[in-house]
Amino acid sequence: MVNIIAVEIPVPDGTNVIIGKSHFIKTVEDLYETLVTASTSIKFGLAFCEASGKRLIRWDGNDKELIDLAIEACKRISAGHVFVIYIKNAWPINVLNRIKSVMEVVNIEAATANPVKAIIADLGDQRALLGIADGFTPLGVETEKDQKERIEFLRKIGYKRG
């Protein structure tokens, strides 16, 4: 019997969450090294659901609050080989390519500051992360005014020049 459930993953104001899948206990140390060398100002916490052996939630980071959030998110998901990273003082765009290049990372499911729900297949003694619901459904189609606001916003925050 498979039960499909949606599990809310908190994303407090000022944080972003990155959720992905990996395949090896080495993930924790490699993600730590990847994030800590990305920026001197980044704050982060990460956790990883070990799929065999002791089957522990392994963790690391440089911010206790973010570490605690990552551990709690992994407890909620409870699917083997899933990792959760919370970051502050950086955007996912600043670290995603670095995370993707970690040799044991299989994929990234989400990188967002939006409300998140993890879609889980619960098989009793096993769980699978099927996907992520990120944010909300669209309310319409972008107008010319919306396009202008988007273009101005990207320049305001420094991601585009001009």
pLDDT of residue 78: 97
CATH class of this structure's domain 3-156: alpha beta
Cα 84 to Cα 32, 78, 103, 157: the distances in Å are 12, 11, 17, 26
In this structure, what token pair is assigned to residue 159? Answer: 């991601």
pLDDT of residue 162: 77
| Residue 2: CB atoms within 10 Å | 9
In this structure, what token pair is assigned to residue 37? Answer: 């060398």
pLDDT of residue 159: 83
Q: Please state, in angstroms and rounded to a whole number, the distance separating the CA atoms of residues 32 and 90.
A: 15
Q: Residue 47's beta-bridge partner residues?
A: 59, 84
pLDDT of residue 77: 98
pLDDT of residue 157: 85
pLDDT of residue 21: 98
pLDDT of residue 104: 96
Each residue's pLDDT, cut to its tens digit, for the chain (162 residues) gives 999 999 999 999 999 999 999 999 899 999 999 999 998 899 999 999 999 999 999 999 999 999 999 999 999 999 999 999 999 999 999 999 999 999 999 999 999 999 999 999 999 999 999 999 999 999 999 999 999 999 999 999 888 887
Alpha helix locations (H) across 26-112?
27-36, 64-77, 92-100
Q: Please state, in angstroms and rounded to a whole number, the distance separating the CA atoms of residues 127 and 12.
A: 25
